[in-house]
A = this chain, B = another copy of it.
Amino acid sequence: MSPRLSLNQATIKRATLREALDTTRTAGIAGIGLWREPVAEVGVDDAVRLVADSGLRVSSLCRGGFFTAPEGEERVVALDDNRRAIEETAALAAAGADGSAAALVLVAGGLPAGDRDLAGARERVRDAIGALEDDASAAGVTLAIEPLHPMYAADRAVVSTLGQAIDIAEQFGPAVGVVVDTFHVWWDPQVLEQIARAGRGGRIASYQVCDWITPLPADVLLARGVPGDGHIDFGPLGAAVRDAGWTGDVEVEIFHQDIWDAPFAEVAARVAVAFDRWIEPTLV
C-alpha cells in the first residue's frame, strides 16, 4: 500500500462521512479527501471529531468556488459560503493526522444563465479569489484552483487549463494554488511545462488522478474511471508532478456509476491495487 494514496470521498459517493473514514482506514489507506456535503450531514464539530478519531490524513476539502455570478446577492452568498468552506478546511485539516493539507478545492463555476461573456466570467473568478485570499491566508488554508476539462467550460468551470489556473494563482500570494487532476489536463499539449511552472512557483496544492474512459457516458460528469481503465498515460504526468517537487498525497477521485454502485470496501481495495500498479511507480 502506497503511503501517498488518499481516497477522495466522492469515489465512494454514497458513503456517509463515518463510513468513508472507516472504509479508508480499514483498507489501509492513510489519507482521505473530504467533501462538504457529507461533512455537513453530521455537522462540522462532529466531523472534526470523527476525522481526529480516524487517524487519517486529510488531503483536501471539496469544494468551494462557483463564484462567476455578477455583482449582487448571488455573488455575496457565494463568497460567504466560500468563507465558511475555508473555516471548515482549516478545522478538518487540523483534526487530520500529520501531513494533512489545508487545501480547499475551488471549481470556478460556469457561465451565468443567458450570459455568453466567457472573458467576463473569468475575470470574476480572479476577483473572487482576490476577495477570499486574506481569509484563506489567515486560516492557513490554500485556495486550490482546479482547472476543469474544457467540456465543462459553459456549465461548470470557466477555468479550463492548468496554465490559466496558474495565471490566476500567480496574481496572489502563497495562499492560492492549483489542482493538477489528470482527467482534466491530460490532453493539454502544454501540460508538462505547466506542471513544471506550477512547481517552480510553489503553486501545486493537490494532485488528483483518475482515468479518461471512452466512449464518454451519457452524463460526461461520470467519465472519471479507475486508473488503467482508460487512455491516460500516467507516466509523464506523474514524473512531471514528482519533478515539480510535489511530495504530498495523491488523491484518487472517481466519478463512475459502476464504482458508485459497488460495495465501499471493494472500491477501496480496487483503488489501492490500481494505484500501486499505475500511479505509485510514476512518483518515485
Question: Could you list which residues of chain A lie within 8 angstroms of chain B, going by C-beta atoms?
Answer: 111, 116-119, 122, 149-151, 153-155, 160-161, 163-164, 167, 186-189, 212, 214-216, 218, 220, 230-233, 236
Contacts and interface: CB of A to CB of B under 8 A. Distances in A.
A160 to B, nearest CB: 5
Contact of A154 (B150, B155, B214, B220): B214
Contacts of A215: 155
A154 B230 contact: yes
Contacts of A236: 119
A267 to B, nearest CB: 23
Contacts of A161: 188-189
Given A151-B151, A153-B187, 16 more contacts: A111-B231, A117-B233, A118-B186, A118-B231, A122-B189, A150-B187, A150-B188, A151-B220, A153-B186, A154-B212, A154-B214, A154-B230, A155-B214, A160-B189, A164-B189, A220-B220
B216 A151 contact: yes
A215 B218 CA distance: 10
Given A160-B189, A220-B216, A220-B220, A233 B155 contact: no
Contacts of A160: 187-189
27 contacts: A111-B231, A116-B231, A116-B233, A117-B233, A118-B186, A118-B187, A118-B231, A119-B236, A122-B189, A149-B150, A149-B151, A150-B151, A150-B187, A151-B151, A151-B216, A153-B187, A154-B187, A154-B214, A154-B230, A154-B231, A155-B214, A155-B215, A160-B188, A160-B189, A163-B189, A167-B189, A216-B220
A216 B188 CA distance: 21
A163 B161 CA distance: 13
Contacts of A189: 122, 160-161, 163-164, 167
Interface centre among A116, A117, A163 (most CB of B within 10 A): A116
Interface centre among A151, A167, A188, A218 (most CB of B within 10 A): A151
Contacts of A186: 118, 153
A214 B221 CA distance: 13
A234 to B, nearest CB: 8
Contacts of A117: 233
Instruction: Across the A-B interface, give the 10 residue pairs with the lowest CB-CB distance, nearest first.
Output: A153-B187, A218-B218, A116-B233, A154-B231, A151-B151, A150-B187, A164-B189, A155-B214, A150-B150, A160-B187
A154 B149 CA distance: 13
Contacts of A187: 118, 150, 153-154, 160
Contacts of A163: 189
Given A160-B188, A188-B160, A116 B154 contact: no
A214 B114 CA distance: 12
